[in-house]
Structure 1
Amino acid sequence: MSSSVLGSSTSMADNIYHVEICRDPHSTARNEEILAHVDIFFRGRVLTTRDLHITEFDDKFLQQHVSKIEVSDIKLSQQETICTADCIFRYHIYQLHEDGPGTEELDDEDLAAANHWILPSREFHGLWESLVFDEDIKTKLLSYASTTLLFTDKQVDSNIISWNKVVLLHGPPGTGKTSLCKALAQKLCIRLSGRFTYGQLVEINSHSLFSKWFSESGKLVMKMFQKIQELIDEPQALVCVLIDEVESLTAARKSAMSGSEPSDAIRVVNAVLTQIDQIKKYPNVIILTTSNVTGAIDLAFVDRADIKQYIGPPSPSAIYSIYKSCIVELVKRGILTSGQTVLDWRSLEFMRFVENTFNRDSLQLKEISEKSHGLSGRTLRKLPFIAHAMFIQKSQASLQEFLIALDKAVQQQFKERTDLARD
């Protein structure tokens, strides 16, 4: 992977755009060659909405060696354009790893202690873009992670300026905390491709690792972090450690202090915190954690977190954006139609159809979004499937038919929740 810069000499942050170039999996071209061809494409060009996500190229070299070019984190309407003469483009070249996750097992123990991915991974491709939040949480986290790695790289004295390289995302279940951690790890590997050759994501299985309170449990923790240390020892790899539902640590410590669990539990929790303190000094590691129970998080851990970001249920405006992305995907796949022939999703006609559709039917979708307030992001992503399965049941439908079905699916969801509450 590699990074480069294209554009004028302006230093305004608003004029900096990140261009992510996904290499074809079979490409053997040098990054410099790819950058030269992409440079020709962008030089002096006026970018429109069609140029933000490019999968088809006139340039035969790009056809052979590039799968996708994306100008990241920008939204344009059909009327808006970007003049490249006024911009700085930061280029990030990457290649997706096709393998799925591996399992980290601890010697002879019957214990799947962690899942392990090499990044960037095909499994997480597009995940960052699919996540919708009310605040600009994604940009905030990306900026934090970039700064913390920069400070470590520049050997800033941590006795003068303190940071722990720990992110804590907390909030109710189903709001996208774990997905955001995985997407952030993937995005960092792409954005820091000039600094690191590849990435590693290690997702620690908290329930398995922290619930085995027997005399060997402290050794299990040590073995887990020894494996992580082996990954960190490769300086060309960015290592992201994900501890999901970190409140498991707190539950263990509280049980131990109340006398309901052996004192070994305290030693295990202390070992985890000590290991986090040890690995944070390395320049190529960041620790991402989540919690569903805000009030139960151990204060000793909370103190270590540089950012404590609440992730709550989406607002109606965020719900609208989620539904819109789902509808665009169904139109793209030909399941929802305009009443005419199925449009090529890469064409300008498709983009015009989508924009005109939401201008025309946005009021109805906004009403459905208001009715959906209170549902988790996880549930919202399932509702288009449920709407089709329960209330459409045919291979193609109009947008109007789908919106009626989606409205019914939302009502059914709340009814099911009420029925479950009665049990």
Structure 2
Amino acid sequence: MNFPLHIEVVQKRQSRVSKDHVKEIVHSYLSNFACLTPGAIISTDEIDESLDLRDHVQSIAICDVDYETEVQMTNVELDYHVYKLDNFGAETDTMTDATSGDELAAADVWALPSEEFHGLWESLVYDSKLKEDTLRFAETAFEFADRGVDQTVVGCNRVILLHGPPGTGKTSLCRALAQKLAVRLGDRFPRARLLEINAHGLFSKWFSESGKLVARLFDRVRDILDDPRLLACVLVDEVESLAHARRSALAGLEPSDSIRAVNAILTQLDRLRRYPNALVLATSNVTGAIDAAFVDRADVKRFVGPPSARAAYEILRGCCGELVARGVVTGGERAFPLRALEGSRFAESAASRCSLRLWDAAREAAAAGASARALRRLPLLARALHCPSPRKAPDLTQFVEALHAALRQHLADAAHLDAPAH
């Protein structure tokens, strides 16, 4: 029995042929290969193939959820997902505060798959199988809903909670997961939306109206969910605001109707269980401060911490690869995958020297607890402030040394910020 290998195909926006036709021409192209490399992304602009493929296909992604090494075509069954990217960006859904008359941003709404989130899933690096686990949970939860599994017998709220310090990629993972589901479940849900609600803004501004505006907001969410062929992913960012609001209200530090606002959103989230096309994603920057009532509703609760040395290395290696591809960094050198360094037991050679220096930087960043967000800013700082010449593109060796300098500067700046005032 062959196992499935997912092939995600971006159809060009101007293409008017059917998805089945796109599958046929992509399958014909891939049949020329004896093996496929999971994680590889093929841009049709860079291959010399038939005009039919180049006219209709933007890119082909060989997905890496189930495989970590090269696979033979005869051992897998290719599962194709063809889609077009929406390029309109987010629409802000506003509501009027009856007390002040102000227009408040209730939620940002994206049509999925979105061009803004294209490639986001692949760019996220974690040590654990966090991406794979959340994707499999969501796919299984929707399978249960499609088969009519009784939720009073088998509990399933379709709620995922990611918690941990800022800058670790929690919100990015939620957006990437919503995008991935829009692609993978495209046959079941031809349309998809991501609705991003900022809980912090919600509870800091809307207490005067208590739960009324919360109810109105979720009325709009349910209007979207009334279309059974539309997948709706509701992202509640900074959900720890629920816990803060509830504690403050019980302690008498907030208006009494603030607790009604908290209870209202919990009630509304409960009602989303009735919709088989809804998924709730939530993030929190303060582990341990999340409202217990919300935690109890989450099916999956995962801590997302700062990158380890392994994850930091792959993040920095990906950044270097991007800059080499764009011509910002020159030369024929490249940073090896960490598996290659481990296979050689980190032996130093002329070819591996640059990669080993990058590994040193990754270990230093991990020891200092640098966030993924900080790591992704280092290449810009390295090129702008620490390269020998501001006009001449550095080679990879020079750039890795500049990354070391940028990392040390970042850690020093962070230490000054954390130091007590004199």
Does TM-score exceed 0.5, indicating one fold?
yes
Aligned length, in residue pairs: 395
Corresponding letter in the other structure for 1:21:
V
Aligned to 2:406: 409
Aligned to 2:105: 112
Asked whether the equivalents of residues 152 and 281 of structure 1 are also in contact (C-alpha less than 8 Å), the reply is no
Aligned to 1:32: 20
Mapping for residues 386-401 of structure 1, pairs under 5 Å: 386-392=381-387, 393-401=390-398
Q: Distance in 2 between matches of 1:127 and 1:358?
A: 30
Aligned to 2:376: 381
Q: Distance in 1 between matches of 2:300 and 2:327?
A: 42
Mapping for residues 144-223 of structure 1, pairs under 5 Å: 144-223=137-216
Distance 1:51 1:172, change over 3 A: closer
Asked whether the equivalents of residues 217 and 268 of structure 1 are also in contact (C-alpha less than 8 Å), the reply is yes
Corresponding letter in the other structure for 2:404:
D
RMSD of aligned C-alpha atoms? Answer: 2.1
Asked whether the equivalents of residues 36 and 62 of structure 2 are also in contact (C-alpha less than 8 Å), the reply is no
Aligned to 1:349: none
- The secondary structure found in structure 1 opposite 2:233 is strand
- The secondary structure found in structure 2 opposite 1:175 is coil
Q: Distance in 1 between matches of 2:65 and 2:304?
A: 22
Shift of 1:420: 1.2
Aligned to 1:260: 253
Asked whether the equivalents of residues 206 and 213 of structure 2 are also in contact (C-alpha less than 8 Å), the reply is no
Corresponding letter in the other structure for 2:140:
T
Q: Is 1:244 matched up with 2:237?
A: yes
Distance 1:263 1:213, change over 3 A: farther
Distance 1:29 1:262, change over 3 A: same
Q: Distance in 1 between matches of 2:308 and 2:11?
A: 36
- The secondary structure found in structure 1 opposite 2:255 is coil
**Which of 46, 55, 61 in structure 2 is aligned with 1:70?**
61
**Which of 81, 84, 103 in structure 2 is aligned with 1:95?**
84
Mapping for residues 328-407 of structure 1, pairs under 5 Å: 328-338=321-331, 359-373=352-366, 374-392=369-387, 393-407=390-404
Q: Distance in 2 between matches of 1:282 and 1:51?
A: 33
**Which of 72, 82, 85 in structure 2 is aligned with 1:83?**
72
Mapping for residues 288-327 of structure 1, pairs under 5 Å: 288-327=281-320
Q: Is 1:420 matched up with 2:406?
A: no
Deviation string 1:177-197 (CA, Å, 9 cap, x unpaired) is: 000000000001001111111
Q: Distance in 2 between matches of 1:318 and 1:396?
A: 27
Asked whether the equivalents of residues 103 and 115 of structure 1 are also in contact (C-alpha less than 8 Å), the reply is yes
Asked whether the equivalents of residues 354 and 400 of structure 2 are also in contact (C-alpha less than 8 Å), the reply is no
TM-score, structure 1 as length reference: 0.89
Mapping for residues 112-151 of structure 1, pairs under 5 Å: 112-151=105-144
Deviation string 1:57-79 (CA, Å, 9 cap, x unpaired) is: 512211111100111127999xx
Q: Which runs of 5+ in 2 are unaligned?
A: 334-348
Q: What percent of counterpart residues are identical? A: 44
Aligned to 2:337: none
Shift of 1:36: 1.4
- The secondary structure found in structure 1 opposite 2:238 is coil
Corresponding letter in the other structure for 2:150:
D
Distance 1:113 1:410, change over 3 A: same
Corresponding letter in the other structure for 2:50:
D
Asked whether the equivalents of residues 170 and 177 of structure 1 are also in contact (C-alpha less than 8 Å), the reply is yes
Distance 1:48 1:89, change over 3 A: closer
Corresponding letter in the other structure for 1:90:
D
Q: Distance in 2 between matches of 1:165 and 1:82?
A: 33
TM-score, structure 2 as length reference: 0.89
- The secondary structure found in structure 2 opposite 1:185 is helix
Q: Which runs of 5+ in 1 are unaligned?
A: 1-9, 341-355
Asked whether the equivalents of residues 10 and 57 of structure 2 are also in contact (C-alpha less than 8 Å), the reply is yes
Corresponding letter in the other structure for 2:16:
T
Q: Distance in 2 between matches of 1:253 and 1:50?
A: 46
Q: Distance in 1 between matches of 2:413 and 2:170?
A: 24
